[in-house]
Amino acid sequence: MEVKTYFNDFLSNIRLTENQENNLKSGHSTLRKRLLEDEDISSIIVNTFLQGSYRRATAVRPKNGNKSDVDVIVVTNLDTTEYTPQEALDLFIPFLDKYYEGKYKMQGRSIGIELSYVELDLVITSAPSESQKELLTTESVLTSYSIDELENWSLSKSWNVNNQQVADEPAWKTEPLLIPDRDAGKWEKTDPLAQIKWTWNKNAACNRHYVNLVKALKWWKKLNPEPKYPKGYPLEHLIGACCPDGIESVAKGVTFTLENIVSEHPEKPILKDHGVPEHDVFKRINDEEYEEFFDLVTEAASLARQALDSTDKVESIELWRELFGSKFPEPPASVKKSQNGFTPRTEQTSSVSGGRFG
């Protein structure tokens, strides 16, 4: 059974809490404001925007005392022929010492900032092309709203949050940005806007169930931490590659996606990154990790199929709980068998869209 109201409550239980959302907004808004207003660093900054699972609306509630996190892209006017990755990152050290002393660390391709209430990932890019500079000043890029907070969104010049219906205007074509890889000592391509755009289109093609399906399967993976990989964006990319368009519910989406992974990818696939197709999203996952993950998916696909096909409501709910853990609601004690099935569920169900316009 699809038990849609139970899935709605499950998704409410694993999404970011209101406090976590507020902490993320406070953390990234303060950082972006400081960057654009700082008298020393602002001169090399074109603009900032959000990327990652928070922007794509695929983030789930942290477990085991971990904090929520958000990725902030800082587009600079730095020329890659004049600055090495290390030199580019070093330019931000005075700013970081000024506002985040003792709270930041240099990472391979970003700068991590750990606050008491949130983690920020600061990603520096080199100078974009002139056409991309114009794109990076539009509200469609700069908005802090995530996918599930918007009725309509397009990567276009005239889009804004108060006028989401943009007619007869072609979507902007994104170009990869270059980010510094400190460990490799070179600038690498990334295209976060292409990932956001792809996710929006996929969510629309899946009757707006796609981002919720991703949340559900990310939570499932958190409950199964071994093997460690894939997780995060590589897992999300695989889900997107295997989720069929037109799904009618999260329950069906979960089942079909897991079954498609089993049938289509018995061996570790090559997954081309959106916007940077020469990058394999699964490159850092080894065959042994994938084999262990595949066994995990195979078991999950069988369990999901049993839950979806079950005609006994209590049995179906218990099977979904076996897959997704205690955050998936128990059937209420008042639900009892009768000749005609079960008494209808009467308690109120929380909305899962989280949307500003929902």
Q: What is the pLDDT of residues 149-207, one digit of tens each?
A: 888 898 888 888 887 776 667 778 999 999 999 999 999 999 999 999 999 999 999 99
pLDDT in tens, 86-102: 999 999 999 999 999 99
Structure confidence at residue 307 as a pLDDT band (50, 70, 90):
very high
pLDDT score, position 334: 57
pLDDT score, position 171: 78
pLDDT score, position 162: 86
More confident residue, 356 or 125: 125
Res 68 pLDDT > 50: yes
More confident residue, 131 or 8: 8
| Cis preceding-peptide flag for 332 (omega within 30 of 0) | no
Burial of 72 (0-12, 13-18, 19+ CB in 10 A): buried
* Residues with catalytic function: 69, 71, 121
More confident residue, 358 or 98: 98
Res 335 pLDDT > 90: no
Q: Which domains does the chain have, with CATH numbers?
A: 4-342 (3.30.460.10)
pLDDT score, position 286: 96
Structure confidence at residue 343 as a pLDDT band (50, 70, 90):
very low
Res 78 pLDDT > 90: yes
Res 235 pLDDT > 50: yes
pLDDT score, position 167: 63
